[in-house]
């Protein structure tokens, strides 16, 4: 599945204390900004074609920008930035959207996600990672988990999005993104019956997929993915931990 990729590098620094940068993706880790780790991983993946990056006007275009096909300077919302990326690429198919604050991502993890997507026909593919997988690979990281009958899962920080489906559901995706750290609020979107089952740990991933698909008027599926897809930098502790992992060569 050859797809183009859009890196969203406009994440705010709320919860992270660093100087001389305006977005999370530009935080320096071991000599290069976090966004460059993501770009390098995408370039390592044979399933990825063009790579473009969205940044706000406050970001200076340094060496990392030479590695991508295009940098789009935009200060809009996440959904508007995704739409800008799709418009630039004239995408009528799928676009891989990935955040810039995941320096532990690897080309292999991206490839494994895309290979799994190939096996299922859908309009939206979203990665989920089990608690066991996260604890095994990155035991010191703290994530928000949803409790399902299938097990405890956290969401990933990328997605494979069908352009036609996205354009039809732009406002809905904005809401989903804002609620991504709150499993309970996400469950509220899916209805009272699902909330009750979710709280009791009786809801299944398949049920969540069906509910989401109904809301979208399209087919959305969850893809069980590698831990590298699920670890991002939202606070100081995350930044310290990913720095330790990189220095130890475990990325």
Q: What is the pLDDT of residues 208-247, one digit of tens each?
A: 899 889 988 999 999 999 999 999 998 999 999 999 999 9
- Residue-level pLDDT at 37: 97
- Residue-level pLDDT at 180: 65
**Displacement of CA 161 from its chain's centroid (Å):** 11
**Cα–Cα distances in Å, from 69 out to 50, 51, 56, 249?**
6, 6, 17, 28
Q: What is the pLDDT of residues 91-119, one digit of tens each?
A: 779 999 999 999 999 999 999 999 999 99
Residue 4 structure tokens: 């183009």
Q: Provide the pLDDT confidence category of residue 11 given band limits of 50, 70 and 90.
A: confident
Structural domains of the chain, ranges and CATH numbers in brackets:
3-247 (3.90.550.10)
59 pLDDT more than 70: yes
Average pLDDT over residues 166-193: 77
């Amino acid at each position: 599945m050859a797809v183009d990729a859009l890196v969203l590098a406009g994440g705010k620094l709320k919860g992270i204390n660093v100087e001389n940068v305006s977005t999370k993706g530009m935080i320096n880790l071991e000599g290069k900004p976090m966004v460059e780790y993501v770009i390098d991983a995408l370039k390592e993946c044979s399933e990825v074609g063009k790579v473009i990056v969205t940044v706000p006007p406050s970001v200076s275009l340094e060496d990392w920008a030479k590695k991508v096909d295009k940098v789009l300077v935009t200060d809009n919302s996440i959904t508007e930035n995704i739409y800008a990326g799709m418009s630039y690429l004239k995408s009528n198919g799928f676009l891989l959207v990935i955040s810039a604050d995941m320096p532990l991502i690897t080309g292999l993890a991206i490839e494994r996600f895309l290979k799994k997507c190939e096996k299922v026909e859908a309009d939206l593919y979203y990665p989920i990672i089990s608690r066991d997988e996260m604890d095994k690979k990155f035991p010191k990281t703290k994530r928000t988990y949803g409790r399902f009958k299938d097990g405890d899962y956290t969401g990933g920080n990328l997605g494979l999005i069908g352009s036609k489906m996205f354009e039809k559901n732009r406002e809905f995706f904005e809401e989903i993104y804002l609620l991504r750290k709150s499993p309970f609020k996400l469950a509220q979107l899916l209805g009272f019956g699902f909330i009750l089952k979710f709280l009791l740990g009786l809801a299944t991933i398949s049920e969540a997929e069906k509910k989401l698909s109904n809301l979208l008027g399209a087919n959305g599926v969850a893809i069980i993915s590698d831990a590298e897809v699920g670890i991002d930098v939202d606070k100081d502790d995350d930044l310290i931990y990913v720095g330790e992992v990189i220095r130890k060569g475990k990325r």
